[in-house]
Amino acid sequence: MIDITRPIACITGMGSAVPEGRLTNAELEKTLDTTDEWITDRTGIRCRHIARPDESMLSYTLKAAHQAMEQAGVTAADLDGIVFATVTPDRRLPSVACDLQAALGAKPAWAFDLVAACPGWVYALSVAEGMMATGLGETILVVGAEKLSMITDRDDRNTAILFGDGAGAGVLRRVRPGEDRGILATYLGADGDLADLLYIPGGGAADPFTEEVLRERRHYMKMAGREVFKAAVLAMSRSSDEAIRRAGMPPESIDLLVPHQANLRIIEAAAKHAGIPMSKVFCNLDRYGNTSSASIPLALTQAQAEGVLKPGMIVMLAAFGAGFTWGSVVLRW
């Protein structure tokens, strides 16, 4: 590991947005063999936001980006780059980051998409910090957004109860002399041997879209729920431990844990392992479900708006997802 002096970068603005459409547990009871009580008890989720089929991901991402930029006090002309984490771009080519750049009027800022599933925003944050460290930007827009409703099989109880749509964005800026805030430590990891625990079997270059793929519903997510649960708890626990170690502080120094909002039981298990009480954990998955790369910036935006997240706090972000990928960040807000 290269020894670098931190903090290099800090988050100066956050924003989030979700589609207006909502899907409650009560509505899922009508189409699936499940109940509101079962979903809430097993996952902690009560509702999720679902975009209309004709509603682009870019439309609500743009709202999140404008909100983050306004809070940070920057304009499109100030952006040096855009890192956009997503597994559900509006189109395969070009990147949705370029579409966002054009919509914002942020030319000629560099822009690209990043695919890391649920830890996508944590990965994007780390990549943006690295770009900043090498002189490729002073102000970078870091986005996590998804339209998971388009890859979720509404007839599959394993996945239909979990996933929702949403977008979150943060403005990352180089730390100025005398500022006592910013990213203190980061840890990322992956294990491709676990890929088949959560994946989409068809629709890619190896198995292109055909009538058979559509008929067999191979273009939708498949998940081995119990195995994912075990791997997720282990991944979040290990990455949290390592990020705290790299930050050079004990677990009790963490003022707020903002985890990936996937499943309340996973969050509780990971927090217990890290020695962080649930009173220091921010959760909003009951309102949004699992929004993959959007979940952490959605939670950060809400925590800040509600006064839970305050300047000077030591905050840890922790996420896991398909790949298997995982990552944690410790920062001073």
Q: Which residues are catalytic?
A: 118, 260, 290
- Rounded Cα distance between 44 and 297, Å, is 19
211, 201 contact by CB (below 8 A)? no
- Rounded Cα distance between 203 and 208, Å, is 5
Phi first, then psi, for residue 104 (nearest 5°) are -80, -25
DSSP secondary structure letter of residue 163: B
Give the HSE-up count for residue 265: Cα atoms under 13 Å, Cβ half-sphere.
Answer: 11
Distances (CA, A) of 208 to 146, 215, 270: 22, 13, 38
Place of tokens 């957004």: 145
294, 144 contact by CB (below 8 A)? yes
- Rounded Cα distance between 142 and 303, Å, is 18
260, 321 contact by CB (below 8 A)? yes
Place of tokens 């002309």: 77
User: Per the structure block, which two tokens stand in for 72?
Assistant: 């940070």
Place of tokens 């560099």: 110
141, 169 contact by CB (below 8 A)? yes
116, 102 contact by CB (below 8 A)? no
